[in-house]
Amino acid sequence: MTMSDATRSSAYDALTQDLTRRGVDVATVERSLRQQRIETPSWAYGNSGTRFRVFSQPGVPRTPFEKFADAAEVHRLTGVCPSVAIHIPWDRVDDFGALRDYATSMGLTVGAINPNLFQDDAYRLGSLCHPDPAVRRQATEHLLACNAIARGVGSDLISLWLADGTNYAGQDSFIERRHRLIDALREPYADLRDGQRLLVEYKFFEPAFYHTDLADWGMALTLCQKLGPRAEVLVDLGHHAQGVNVEQIVALLIDEERLGGFHFNSRKYADDDLIVGSTNPFELFLIYVELVAAGAAATDRIAYMIDQSFNVESKIEGMLLSVTNLQEALARALLVDRPALVDAQRGSDVLGAHRVLLDAFQTDVRPLTAKVRLDLGGEADPIGTFRASGYADRVATERADGTAMSWT
């Protein structure tokens, strides 16, 4: 059920009056929300699934250009998603300049370039960590090619997830694999141009099940320190063991000046790639609390990217809900009474400090984020507007022929 304009305006007025009574500078909060930028991933618009099955949906893009068209719809409705990450070779085209120009015509830019070092038969035992130098060379050449693509489309980010690892104890040497990884990355790292960065992602298990070569933030951080200042850590919310304090990791990486970005998603058990904020919205809020505290919530230095697979839900609607959840998480974090929080912390008022956070988290900020979207030229109710637009039916008809894109 959608809310009428009058009802929405009344809800916004009531909220801003309450926030003003609480000492919140609403104009400053809205300005920060208007500065928020979220990158959507091209692969989320294609068909996806589980290890057992890739599920097809009507209207799924057949080309990278059609992925950008869907991403443009998300940006139009939300006002905060002007860039699209691409994956190579999934999004390979004959002319990347044409893809860049098409993105520009749609009000978008090409975002992070994601190399694929996990879907070639040669990578069965690893890529950059593989015992065979010929395989490591193949992986390095792919990274160099991605660097060139990034320069051609104007991207300043290479986003690297490494699937390397082993399945059995004794299969390979931990230390030798680490040295191979460092050595293999030195050349593509040195090939980065001014302004370009390498974001290093980690994952504690899967597809390898005995060990993974970059299993946690510490391993990623020490690798970045070995490579140099242009290498930074990327935090994927689904890539941690149960119970890991992700917000603490975020705070420490900020303090080390090595937080490069996020892959936002959500999980119940492992790397589920669910809609961000769908299983643990309080954790998402606490991550933004740390970002706001460090003044990093809207900086261009940190890449705020979504990495999800919409297997059973509508892909564009799933992306819209993901974006609005991120907008609301930031809004709540901006409402935290910082002086009261600091006073409670320094006064050892344990529950007092916690209640300061709860006051912000339990605030219904939807009227505020809806207003900000309207200010940006988006829609107060992105999903409702999308459903009423006929876009899904139109592209389902237009894209009925041909082969839908997929990450397999």
Contact 42, 68 (CB under 8 A): yes
Instruction: Report the alpha-carbon distance of residue 263 to residue 276 in Å, rounded.
Output: 10
Measured from the Cβ of residue 120, the count of other Cβ atoms closer than 10 Å reads 14
**How much is the average pLDDT of 101-125?**
98
Q: Could you give the domains of the chain?
A: 36-397 (3.20.20.150)
pLDDT at position 3: 74
DSSP 5: H
| Exposed e or buried b per residue across 136-171, where buried means at least 16 C-beta atoms within 10 angstroms of its C-beta | bebbbebbebbbebbbebebbbbbbbbbbbbeeeee
Q: What is the DSSP secondary-structure string of 207-228?
A: S-SSEESS-SHHHHHHHHHHH-
Question: Tens of pLDDT along 181-213?
Answer: 999 999 999 999 999 999 999 999 999 999 999
Instruction: Report the alpha-carbon distance of residue 146 to residue 107 in Å, rounded.
Output: 23
SS3 397: helix
Contact 179, 128 (CB under 8 A): no
Quick one: which of 146, 128, 148 has its CA closest to 138?
A: 128
pLDDT at position 1: 45
Q: Residue 301 pLDDT more than 50?
A: yes
**How much is the average pLDDT of 368-384?**
98
HSE-CB of 148 using CA atoms within 13 angstroms: 8
pLDDT at position 230: 98
Q: Residue 321 pLDDT more than 50?
A: yes
Confidence of residue 281 (pLDDT cuts 50, 70, 90): very high
Structure tokens, 83: 């860039």
pLDDT at position 30: 98
Question: Tens of pLDDT along 72-93?
Answer: 999 999 999 999 999 999 999 9
Q: Residue 298 pLDDT more than 80?
A: no
pLDDT at position 258: 97
Question: Tens of pLDDT along 219-249?
Answer: 999 999 999 999 999 999 999 999 999 999 9
Instruction: Report the alpha-carbon distance of residue 67 to residue 45 in Å, rounded.
Output: 6
Instruction: Report the alpha-carbon distance of residue 81 to residue 40 in Å, rounded.
Output: 7
Instruction: Please give the mean pLDDT across all residues of the chain.
Output: 96
Measured from the Cβ of residue 397, the count of other Cβ atoms closer than 10 Å reads 10
| Exposed e or buried b per residue across 247-260, where buried means at least 16 C-beta atoms within 10 angstroms of its C-beta | bebbbbbbeeebbb
**How much is the average pLDDT of 342-361?**
98
Contact 316, 73 (CB under 8 A): yes
Instruction: Report the alpha-carbon distance of residue 35 to residue 57 in Å, rounded.
Output: 33
Write out the H or E segment, with its range, that includes residue 306: strand 303-306
HSE-CB of 396 using CA atoms within 13 angstroms: 10
DSSP 202: -
Instruction: Report the alpha-carbon distance of residue 188 to residue 113 in Å, rounded.
Output: 13
Task: Burial-class residue 25 by CB neighbours within 10 Å (0-12, 13-18, 19+).
Answer: exposed
pLDDT at position 2: 61
Q: Residue 61 pLDDT more than 50?
A: yes
Instruction: Report the alpha-carbon distance of residue 73 to residue 75 in Å, rounded.
Output: 5
Confidence of residue 408 (pLDDT cuts 50, 70, 90): low
- Residue position matching structure tokens 């002007």: 82
